Amino acid sequence: MNFSMYHSSSGQQSPHCVHVVGIGRVGALYVDAMLRTGEVEDMLEDPRARFAALIVDVGEEGMQQAKDYADGFGDRLRSRGIPEDRFMFQAISLEVPTRDEMFNTLRRMREFLKLEYPRYYWNPNYEPWLPNSTEMPKVGEEIPRAVAKALYARAYYDGDKPMDVALSSFARFIEGAGLPSMVLCPFGIADGVGSGIAVDLARHLSSIKLGRRIPVIGVGQLPLSLDKEYNSPSIFTTLNEIDSMLDDDKNAGVTAVWGDLYRSPFTGGFMIVNPEHSFQRLTSYTKTGEPAVRDHFRKTVTDKFCADCFMRFAVRDAGRALFRALRPAGFTGAPHEVVSGKSRNWTLFDIAKFTHPGVQVLPGEPLKKWKDVILQWIDYVPKWAGVKPAFKTDFAEVHVHAPREIGFTYLNDALGAKVKEAFLLPGDDSTMEIESYEFFDQLTAYATIILPGVAKTDLDVFFKSREIYDTLTWEQKLLHHSWLLDLGVMISEPAIRFDGMAGECLWGCACWVVVPYDQMRGDKLPPPSRKEILADGIAMMTRTVVPTP
């Protein structure tokens, strides 16, 4: 019997087709990782299944490895007798036009948006959002979010419209699948290209091409503490924009002014990936060699490992594990079951690595030494989880991967106790599930810890980035925005004409969003946990006119 994504009367789920749109350098790594997982071929054994992968970046350097794997993927399908037409791969390198070409496109944005959304407000004060002093970047240079947005807009709306064509082909292909589909959109939270493009690409994919019928799941990877982007002011603006999509109240404030086209495009939820524990695990014991070479190696290994971990999880059990992990956040349950977490609608995907091949312990050494090292790195989980110590949630899902020799009971008990102590509400107000998997590498043990109920203000990088953002000039701040710039709105700034609201207008007019500025800034913190938000939501649904006995 075939079931929909979730059959509420039986509790069963169908297998899924999991597709991916990798955006920017980090997004390309996730596509590369997915193409290397053998589970994708297993999924395509089902004649109803399809798999589509798309990479979007400025320049081709970051996507070359994924393109190579895509070429080999066809050979892997043929070797198993799987028709190649069940697989689609596209790689789009956005052109960097001349300055005049870019501004010609931006001057026509009102026309493009009016065609896209007939109720679009034709602002007589409209001007291109990029400052006149803007110079076009060279491929390989750091690209600000506002410039990346402009490059994407030109590729989507103007000329041959390669992005419009690619997204239309992507959507048509996955709609031809005979199984339910989910679409992952991975990108780097601190990456100017990835975060600058993702907000518009997800909107076009979800609200226009797919008609909000197929879950689109955002996957944002936090920067490593080694990265120069770790101190980027773009983190503050990116988190604010995503929060204004995920939080139902804030998103209602945006759509109240700008219409349903700006409803959250992340219909399947949003996972924020934290690679710091894995990075620290490798970093602490590699002190030799040239610092620049060593740091590049550590970063490359960590990024690849984390992309592998996430994609290995995403395709597990034909996507059912991913689907279940998003249910506590309210994104994949039946409508009558869902109570929104509002400002706490983020889900943390923390990757904690306990052993690394050839580091601290070696093959054949006593098991006790292995266990002592694992305990040491379990103790570090809260420190490098990417969230503040005050964060607490009502549910945790833990997936442990280790060699059989380590002993899962030992590992699960130690890690479960640490997760409960560090992240869970006390007493009966929280639950935790732990699953174990034998890992193919005898020298590697790690865990993925999934925590729903995260708010942007829980993240270590939020206030750090805000401090840096506050030191910038107005024009510098503008370049770190993306999402609503085509409407003339800098969402992380206070509204000019509406006291206490967010959304400064670029052109001095009455642009704004119905979102309190103190919430946008993080000065007013959300409720301490999902427990309070869910209790309020349930109370509202069960309110009656006549008192009940």
Q: For 273-311, what is each residue's pLDDT tens digit?
A: 999 999 998 877 666 667 777 788 889 999 999 999 999
User: pLDDT class for 148, splitting at 50, 70, 90?
Assistant: very high
Predicted pLDDT of residue 549: 60
Range with top average pLDDT, 117-126, 251-260, 321-330, 459-468: 459-468
Q: Which fold has domain 349-460?
A: 60s Ribosomal Protein L30; Chain: A; (3.30.1330)
Give the 3-state DSSP-derived string for 74-116, with helices as H, strands as E and coil as C: HHHHHHCCCCHHHEEEEEEECCCCCHHHHHHHHHCHHHHHHHH
Q: For 85-119, what is each residue's pLDDT tens digit?
A: 999 999 999 999 999 999 999 999 999 999 998 88
**Backbone phi and psi for residue 438, each to the nearest 5 degrees, phi listed first:** -75, 125
Predicted pLDDT of residue 11: 62
What proportion of the chain, given as a percentage, has pLDDT over 70? 94
Q: Which residue has the higher pLDDT, 219 or 141?
A: 219
Establish how many alpha carbons lie within 13 A of residue 8's alpha carbon, considering only the half-sphere containing its beta carbon: 8
Q: Is 210 helix (H, G, I), strand (E, B) or coil?
A: coil
Q: For 413-442, what is each residue's pLDDT tens digit?
A: 999 999 999 999 998 889 999 999 998 777
Range with top average pLDDT, 61-65, 201-205, 367-371: 201-205
Q: Which residue has the higher pLDDT, 238 or 403?
A: 238
Residue 393: DSSP 8-state:
B
User: pLDDT class for 370, splitting at 50, 70, 90?
Assistant: confident
Predicted pLDDT of residue 498: 85
Give me the residues paired with residue 424 across strands: 393
Q: How many CB atoms lie within 10 A of CB 46?
A: 16
CA-to-CA separations, 201 to 168, 193, 207, 428, in angstroms, rounded = 12, 12, 10, 41
What proportion of the chain, given as a percentage, has pLDDT over 90? 71
- Contact, 170 vs 52, CB < 8 A? yes
Predicted pLDDT of residue 6: 54
Q: For 337-360, what is each residue's pLDDT tens digit?
A: 677 889 999 999 999 999 877 777
User: pLDDT class for 120, splitting at 50, 70, 90?
Assistant: confident
Mean pLDDT of the chain: 91
User: pLDDT class for 186, splitting at 50, 70, 90?
Assistant: very high
pTM (two decimals): 0.94
Q: Reply yes or no on whether the pLDDT at 226 is more than 60.
A: yes
Predicted pLDDT of residue 540: 73
Predicted pLDDT of residue 10: 57
User: pLDDT class for 464, splitting at 50, 70, 90?
Assistant: very high
In the chain, where the domains are located: 349-460
Residue with tokens 């999902």: 530
Predicted pLDDT of residue 2: 38
Mean pLDDT of 226-242: 94
CA-to-CA separations, 523 to 154, 221, 274, 454, 526, in angstroms, rounded = 36, 24, 24, 17, 10
